[in-house]
Structure 1
Amino acid sequence: MNTNSNTYTVIYASVVVIVVAFLMAFVAAALKDKQDENVVLDKKKQILSALNVDTKDKDPAQLYKDCVKYEYILNAKGDTLAEEGGFLIDVKVENSKALDERQLPLYVCSINGATKYVIPMRGAGLWGPIWGYIALNDDKNTVFGVYFSHESETPGLGAEIATDKFKMPFHGKHIKQNGSFTSIAVVKPDKTAEGLDYVDGVSGGTMTSQGVNNMLKEGMGQYVEFLKK
């Protein structure tokens, strides 16, 4: 075949495209399992962080197995639909459904022999999704720990919700007042909230702080019936 002909050029280019596409598909397929494993492991680390469990230089998968006893699926009435499978529930998908149709994940954990309940949450920040986990003591009222993260909040401003400086003040706060669910307010620094516990929001990150405030209220609000039991 004439290597200088247009036909040769077209055939050669087509073969190269096909080979490259095959190699890319092969690499993507080969890496998918590892990527999926990393996503699962990262989620377990986030839950452990809400439980104040340090995973540095340790096996997060084993720590998760030791601490998380059940991965419940609840409905909005607070009834248990299943004692396993909650980890696989996509909170983003469930939030798009009517409340009475949602499957609500709940992690029942044990820390030094004490029962903790971890509730996952998802909301909206200034620039994109935010999410987190809140761990409650067995009184279903007192906060044991929290974890927050974000997709694209501004460094030094809204992104501060992922720092210990923002998270630590939640410890020991109460999500109920006089037996009724009130959530925890996230307020502007030096402001207060009447009738419920509150923490300072991020200075300069008003919209992200409001997003966390809404996420807490709406996220935990789905579990009100469970929290009553």
Structure 2
Amino acid sequence: MRQSNTYIIVFSVILTVVLGGLLSGVSQVLGPAQKKAVDLDTKKQILGAIPSEKAALANMTAEEILTRYSEVITSEVTDYNGSLVTTNEKGEPIVAENVNIEKNYKKPAEQRMLPVFKYSADGQEAYIVPTFGAGLWDAIWGFVAIAPDLETVVGVSFDHRGETPGLGARITSDEIQERYQGKELYNGQGEFVSVEMVKGENNPESNLGANKVDGMAGATLTANGVNSMLENYLGYYQNYFDKNVKSGSGTMTMNLENN
């Protein structure tokens, strides 16, 4: 039997309202759990930039990871000019862990908020900074731990959204990430050059040196994305290091009240 147009319209409106209400309810119920999962994953990646911490993460529960994070990490936020930022335009506190790096990536570099995570544990200290960029197919990101001398990479943790398995997706592997440990961010003339992943794989050490790491076979475009990501973001933080660390005003002293 044919239904009238009025019936169809009313039925569609009711169905839309009911489904919208259900989706809204599900979102409210799942929202806190999703936020907690994202927070845990972010803190795992930050800790994972420190090789000794990364090795321990696999055997830790979620609560143990969060506890460890609070024990060894403090954080602050800087702007592009290297000035510390503590509140937003509404006067609300800015928390480094809540800064959305992907959303900031869409803004001009001069308008971005740049979180800094300070690691201190068992006599080891490091500055950990986030990075974000574009791989072959989609977004890539990571965290880079830098020694207090501001010249040496302690470790990295990389992730991606859609790189090719067995090729560009290898940036998440220990094999690739370990290549960055101990690499230098400055050349012999004291100029910032970042760390570059070279083309091809199994390159002789003589082709690498202090500022380059071996590449990934068949993943040149992903490697180029990683190179650009590191050069850009580590470059953005130079003003912060110049103003807050090299000047002597910065310190690695832990202040757990800020965490």
Do the two structures share a fold, i.e. TM-score over 0.5? yes
Structure 1 alignment gaps of length 5 or more: none
Q: Partners of 2:104 and 2:211 in 1: how far apart?
A: 28
Q: TM-score, normalised by structure 2?
A: 0.77
Tell me what 2:215 maps to.
201
Instruction: Report the Cα offset of residue 12 of structure 1.
Output: 6.6
| Residue 130 of structure 1 pairs with residue 140 of structure 2 | yes
Identity over aligned residues, as a percent?
32
Instruction: Report the Cα offset of residue 108 of structure 1.
Output: 1.0
Indicate conservation of the 8 Å contact 1:149/1:161, yes or no.
yes
Q: Partners of 1:25 and 1:138 in 2: how far apart?
A: 47
| Residue 223 of structure 1 pairs with residue 225 of structure 2 | no
Tell which deviates more after alignment, 118-127 or 11-20: 11-20
Instruction: Report the Cα offset of residue 196 of structure 1.
Output: 5.4
Instruction: Report the Cα offset of residue 24 of structure 1.
Output: 2.8
Q: Partners of 1:79 and 1:22 in 2: how far apart?
A: 44
Tell which deviates more after alignment, 4-13 or 20-29: 4-13
* Aligned-partner residue type, residue 240 of structure 2: F
Indicate conservation of the 8 Å contact 2:131/2:233, yes or no.
yes
- Structure holding more strand per residue: 1
Q: Rate the CA distance shift 1:132–1:16 in 2: closer, same or farther, 3 A.
A: same
* Aligned-partner residue type, residue 81 of structure 1: V
Work out which of the residue numbers 53, 59, 63 in structure 2 matches 1:57. 59
Indicate conservation of the 8 Å contact 2:132/2:141, yes or no.
yes
Tell me what 2:79 maps to.
75
Indicate conservation of the 8 Å contact 2:133/2:225, yes or no.
yes
Tell me what 1:23 maps to.
22
Tell which deviates more after alignment, 23-32 or 168-177: 23-32
Q: Partners of 1:20 and 1:107 in 2: how far apart?
A: 42
Q: Partners of 2:222 and 2:141 in 1: how far apart?
A: 11
Q: Tell me the alpha carbon deviations over residues 82-108 of structure 1, each in whole angstroms, 9 at most, x when there is no partner.
A: 396222222233333344333211111
Please state whether the residue corresponding to 1:122 is helix, strand or coil. strand
Structure 2 alignment gaps of length 5 or more: 87-92, 247-259
| Residue 214 of structure 1 pairs with residue 213 of structure 2 | no
Tell which deviates more after alignment, 11-20 or 75-84: 11-20
Please state whether the residue corresponding to 1:177 is helix, strand or coil. coil
Q: Rate the CA distance shift 1:51–1:17 in 2: closer, same or farther, 3 A.
A: same
Q: Partners of 1:218 and 1:193 in 2: how far apart?
A: 23
Q: Rate the CA distance shift 1:176–1:109 in 2: closer, same or farther, 3 A.
A: same
Q: Partners of 2:175 and 2:44 in 1: how far apart?
A: 19
Structure 2 counterparts to residues 97-116 of structure 1, below 5 A: 97-116=107-126
Q: Rate the CA distance shift 1:208–1:113 in 2: closer, same or farther, 3 A.
A: same
* Aligned-partner residue type, residue 181 of structure 1: F
| Residue 186 of structure 1 pairs with residue 197 of structure 2 | yes
* Aligned-partner residue type, residue 198 of structure 2: V
Q: Partners of 1:155 and 1:27 in 2: how far apart?
A: 33
Instruction: Report the Cα offset of residue 215 of structure 1.
Output: 0.6
Indicate conservation of the 8 Å contact 2:208/2:214, yes or no.
no
Instruction: Report the Cα offset of residue 182 of structure 1.
Output: 1.1
Q: Rate the CA distance shift 1:84–1:101 in 2: closer, same or farther, 3 A.
A: closer
Number of matched pairs:
225
Q: Tell me the alpha carbon deviations over residues 54-110 of structure 1, each in whole angstroms, 9 at most, x when there is no partner.
A: 2223221111111102x1111233232339622222223333334433321111111
